[in-house]
Amino acid sequence: ISAYVNLMKQGIMMEKPLQQWRSYDGRSDLDISEEMAFKDEKLKELVYNNASERTIRHTMKKIGAQRAIDTWITNYGKGTLKFFPTDVATVIDIVPADIVVNAMLCIISYHPQGTADFIYQIGSSMSNPIKLGQMSQTTYKYFSQIPFVGAKGDVVKVKQPNFLATMASFYETMDKHYKMPLQDMLRRGLSTTEDRHIYNHLKREYDFTVAVAEVYWPFTISKTRFDDLKMQNLMGMVTERDRELIPCNIKFINWDKYFMETHIPGVMDYESRELTRARL
């Protein structure tokens, strides 16, 4: 969670406790209760409407998915996200869920007894860094080889990711490619069904791209890295047998292979199932 509540700090974030309601810099407000309240309210709404257990699980899972980096991957692959504000030199923290679980098991088993206030950070930015530029090129490679196929059988051919270094340049690009053409269409009038279809399509794409960019841009230009020395030292205590049973060392992940063979296929499989479910 710390990676998502310390966006304004630059440099190395050490393994130390966060105070409740305060961010790492000690100045910014940090009200995690807002996120919890949103989740609780959605759950109450589902229960009140007599939603099935399956629907509840599906909806809550979808809420979590909407807060992950996978939004960029899926919509880039589907051809609906053409521009994005990103510093390609930004190092991001990515940790597969199974690694997180395994690391927690290792901490439970090997953490020194009687040691209090000991914080472990599970991250990749120090031990096995990957830059957004590398991740985006791997994503482009994947969709070039395995393109997304739409509901009507149309194959989406992706182009190289078009990244803008600042939000100002992003807004300028969006104005040129979307906002101004949309305004021109309104001035000319939407006299045919085809005109209205094109306008609505561009408007949805514009609104979606701007909304996603405004949520994610702090992460895509982040200059923060998360120290994991304590976690690395702990893993040095793990026996060889346990390392095989519960592997949790982020150092050994080949990111290109992970994205090509595991992460993106899994994300797109989930997206395809969601589209199929929506059509039923």
Residues 175-187: tens digit of each pLDDT? 999 999 999 999 9
Residue found under tokens 């992970």: 258
Contacts of 157 (CB under 8 A, 6+ apart): 79, 147
| 190 pLDDT above the threshold of 70 | yes
pTM of the model: 0.76
Task: Identify the band that residue 192 occupies on the pLDDT scale cut at 50, 70 and 90.
Answer: very high
What stretches of 118-166 show up as alpha helix (H) in DSSP? 132-145
pLDDT in tens, 28-61: 554 555 555 666 677 677 777 777 777 766 666 5
Distances (CA, A) of 56 to 40, 78, 225: 12, 27, 36
Report the C-alpha gap between 95 and 236 in whole angstroms. 19
Average pLDDT over the chain reads 82
pLDDT in tens, 63-78: 555 555 788 899 999 9
Report the C-alpha gap between 269 and 149 in whole angstroms. 12
Report the C-alpha gap between 198 and 200 in whole angstroms. 6
Residue found under tokens 């099935």: 52
Average pLDDT over residues 122-145: 93
Average pLDDT over residues 203-232: 86
